[in-house]
């Protein structure tokens, strides 16, 4: 009776390992769509404008609608993941995202095209906001604490790298038809759903009420403030509309926090911020994301304007960053598992701050050969800190409310990225305009006419006008000078990123260094599980 036992043990444990591998693969396929869609649309913009007759402002809203919706609904998506179950909400979010993607690709020509595309891009953002916190929570739930760092290092490493692949994939698909940039999500979603079913993930809902007033307040507050930040370059920082949105949104968020502190079942349990480690993790993420997400936009435009590269070549320029990010992410995950979050966060913030500063010092040398070691260094530092900060924050969730906490961390990251794009974008705009104005005057343009010409040129090459290319009708010598001006203007942007990461280093010092060695006891709705057998969605 006792002899067969050792033979059965490996067979019994095998499905667990297979389930973990399939789960990680399924969630990576799901979130890959959300990361790729942050950058893929920009490459197809000229073709979309030409075929559908969109205005430049309308096209900007096609891009912004996705990011705005994403920011507004992340917190709600995390909470619903806990209430309805992580697996179920991941599937709901995936289906919402892919249906909206298919409808974006099916946009009809004519007067309704612009409204149609903007509307379903917003629905895409909603689907991503529902899916991502749930997908991350599924990975956290399946992997034990001692293996979670390495699993999430792969999760964030692959998912982050897909952001850079977006422009390359977008350029390749657009050569066939721009509609394919949306339709490509359909087979990816099918694979994600099939793998989710095969993984045998259990669904654990929690029968708790949803704080709908809080959800409305945080959506309005995040939406308004992010809208103000997105439109700051177009409206101007001196515009009343810009500040009405930003300040109004922040006031609504203050009201939201006050409401949450008095609500029995809040959307976000504010007491989680009383945990010093959790607060430090989110502070590190906030300042690090000022650099991490915007760097894709700034580096892509820099490569196309200053280095005169094609969109596809610009995508390859971005991949240099991930030559450091990918191994850095793996090392950071292993350090988290062995030593906790504080050491890799300190190392990562320091390395990335130095990397961005050195990159800035070489930005006027229009050669990838002169820059690549520092780009790799910047990427390695971000990779080192990202997984430990995100994972440690999730590990400290209250009553295993992984969806809620991932919703918080993703909201922090998204808001910070919007802030970084707005502020650093303004720095780039003003620095470029100043540099180009001086160049125009030096080349014989009248002093009184130079500001207007410089403003037009700058908006053209930075993407705030009707295109993102260097202006036509400019002589080769003057064009080279303008490219140098633009390259020089990117220096303050990269130094700003380095400064943000230096602040992140200070925040990492505030982390107490304590480690989470066991999961908190999960709160499971046993009635719901018993009704559904295994609880599978």
The pLDDT of residue 61 is above 50: yes
The verdict on residue 328 lying in a domain is no
Q: What is the pLDDT of residue 414?
A: 85
Same domain flag for 30 and 84: yes
Indicate the pTM of the whole model. Answer: 0.83
Residue 313 resides in a domain:
no
Whose tokens are 């305009």? That residue is 433
CA distance 120 to 139: 28
Could you tell me if 192 and 227 lie in one domain? Answer: no
Tell me: the pLDDT tens digits for 262-318? 988 888 888 888 899 999 999 999 999 999 888 888 887 888 888 888 767 777 788
Q: What are phi and psi of 317, to 5 degrees?
A: -60, -40
Q: Are 271 and 396 in contact (CB under 8 A)?
A: no
CB 493 within 8 A of CB 428: yes
DSSP line for 364-401: TS--HHHHHHHHHHHHHHHHHHHHHHHHHHHHT-GGG-
Is 25:195 a contact under the CB 8 Å cutoff? yes
Torsion on CA atoms 434, 439, 445, 449, rounded to nearest 10: -10
Residue 361 lies in a domain: no
Query: Cα(367)–Cα(303) distance, rounded to whole angstroms?
Result: 10
- The most confident of the ranges 183-192, 306-315, 428-437 is 183-192
Please give the pLDDT value at position 176.
Answer: 85
Are 34 and 185 in contact, with CB atoms under 8 Å apart? no
Count structural domains, the chain.
2
What value, to the nearest 5°, has the Cα angle with vertex 145 and ends 139 and 148? 45
Tokens representing 516?
Answer: 């989470």
Residue 477 lies in a domain: no
Helix (H, G, I), strand (E, B) or coil at 53: coil
Q: What is the DSSP letter of 273?
A: G
Same domain, 148 and 237: no
Q: What is the pLDDT of residue 100?
A: 96
Q: Name, in order, each residue with C-beta under 8 angstroms of 513's C-beta and a sequence gap of 6 or more.
A: 340, 342
Give the residue from 177, 209, 241 where a domain finishes.
209
pLDDT at 55: 77
State residue 1's pLDDT score. Answer: 43
| Count of alpha carbons within 13 angstroms of residue 89, beta-carbon side | 31
Task: Report in angstroms the alpha-carbon separations of 530 from 204, 321, 527, 533, 536.
Answer: 10, 48, 5, 5, 11
Range of the domain at 181: 16-209
Tell me 446's DSSP state. Answer: -
Q: Which of 161, 193, 209 is the last residue of a domain?
A: 209
Model confidence pLDDT, tens digit, residues 243-253: 999 999 999 99
Tokens of 433: 């305009």
Q: What is the mean pLDDT of the chain?
A: 83
> At residue 527, does pLDDT exceed 70?
no
Q: What is the pLDDT of residue 186?
A: 93
Tokens 């099918």, residue located = 190
pLDDT score of 200: 84
The residue from 209, 239, 274 where one domain ends is 209
Residue 455 resides in a domain: no
pLDDT of residue 215: 92
Q: Are residues 175 and 26 in the same domain?
A: yes
* In a shared domain, residues 232 and 172: no
Can you tell me the distance from the alpha carbon of 386 to that of 282, in angstroms, rounded to the nearest whole number?
11
- Please indicate, yes or no, whether residues 150 and 78 belong to a single structural domain of this protein: yes
Is the pLDDT higher at 416 or at 58? 416
Average pLDDT over residues 177-204: 90
DSSP SS3 for 340: coil
Number of C-beta neighbours around residue 238 at 10 A: 8
**Among 34, 26, 33, CA closest to 191:** 26
| pLDDT for the residue 519 | 60
101 and 162 housed in the same domain: yes
State the Cα torsion 495-500-501-507 to the nearest 10°.
Answer: 160
**DSSP summary character for residue 270:** G
Give the pLDDT confidence of 354-394 residue by residue, as tens digits: 999 999 999 999 888 899 999 999 999 999 999 899 989 98
| DSSP-based helix, strand, coil % in the chain, nearest 5 | 80, 0, 20
Q: SS3 sequence, 194-251? A: HHHHHHCCCCCCCCCCCCHHHHHHHHHHHHHHHHHHHHHHHHCCCCHHHHHHHHHHHH
């Amino acid at each position: 009776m006792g002899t067969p036992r050792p033979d059965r043990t490996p067979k019994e444990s095998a499905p667990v390992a297979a389930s973990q591998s399939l789960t990680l693969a399924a969630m990576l396929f799901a979130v890959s769509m959300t990361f790729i869609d942050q950058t893929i649309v920009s490459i197809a913009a000229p073709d979309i404008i030409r075929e559908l007759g969109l205005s430049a402002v309308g096209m900007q809203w096609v891009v912004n609608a996705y990011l705005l919706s994403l920011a507004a609904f992340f917190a709600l998506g995390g909470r619903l993941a806990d209430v309805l179950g992580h697996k179920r909400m991941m599937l709901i979010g995936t289906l919402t995202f892919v249906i909206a993607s298919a409808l974006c690709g099916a946009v009809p020509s004519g007067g309704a095209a612009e409204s149609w595309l903007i509307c379903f891009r917003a629905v895409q953002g909603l689907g991503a906001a529902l899916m991502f916190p749930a997908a991350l929570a599924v990975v956290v739930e399946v992997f034990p604490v001692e293996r979670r760092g390495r699993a999430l290092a792969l999760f964030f490493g692959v998912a982050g790298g897909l952001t850079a692949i977006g422009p390359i994939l977008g350029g390749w698909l657009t050569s066939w038809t721009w509609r394919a940039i949306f339709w490509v999500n359909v087979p990816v979603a099918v694979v994600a759903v099939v793998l989710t079913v095969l993984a045998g993930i259990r669904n654990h809902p929690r029968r708790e009420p949803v704080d709908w007033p809080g959800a409305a307040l945080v959506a309005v507050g995040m939406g308004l403030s992010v809208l103000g930040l997105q439109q700051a370059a177009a409206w101007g920082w001196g515009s009343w509309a810009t500040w009405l949105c930003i300040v109004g949104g922040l006031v609504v968020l203050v009201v939201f926090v006050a409401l949450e502190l008095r609500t029995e079942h809040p959307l976000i349990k504010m007491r989680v911020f009383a945990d010093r480690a959790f607060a430090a993790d989110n502070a590190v993420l906030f300042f690090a994301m000022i650099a991490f997400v915007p760097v894709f936009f700034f580096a892509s435009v820099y490569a196309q304007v200053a280095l005169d590269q094609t969109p596809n070549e610009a995508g390859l320029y971005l991949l240099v960053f991930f030559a450091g990010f990918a191994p850095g992410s793996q090392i950071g995950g292993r350090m988290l598992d062995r030593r906790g979050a504080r050491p890799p966060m300190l190392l990562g913030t320091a390395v990335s701050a130095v990397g961005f500063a050195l990159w800035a010092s070489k930005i006027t040398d229009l050669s990838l050969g002169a820059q690549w070691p520092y780009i790799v260094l910047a990427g390695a530092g971000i990779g080192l800190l990202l997984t430990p900060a995100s994972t440690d924050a999730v590990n400290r969730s209250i009553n295993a409310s992984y969806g809620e906490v991932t919703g918080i961390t993703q909201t922090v990251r998204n808001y910070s990225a919007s802030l970084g794009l707005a502020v650093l974008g303004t720095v780039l705009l003003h620095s470029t305009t100043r540099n180009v104005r001086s160049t125009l005057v030096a080349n014989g343009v009248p002093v009184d006419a130079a500001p207007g010409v410089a403003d037009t040129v700058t908006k053209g090459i930075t993407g705030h006008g009707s295109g993102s290319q260097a202006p036509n009708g400019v002589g080769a010598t003057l064009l080279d000078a303008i490219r140098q001006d633009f390259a020089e203007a990117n220096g303050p942007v990269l130094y700003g990123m380095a400064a943000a990461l230096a602040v992140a280093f200070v925040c990492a010092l505030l982390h107490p260094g304590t480690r989470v060695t066991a999961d908190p006891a999960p709160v499971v709705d046993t009635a719901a599980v018993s009704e559904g057998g295994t609880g599978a969605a």
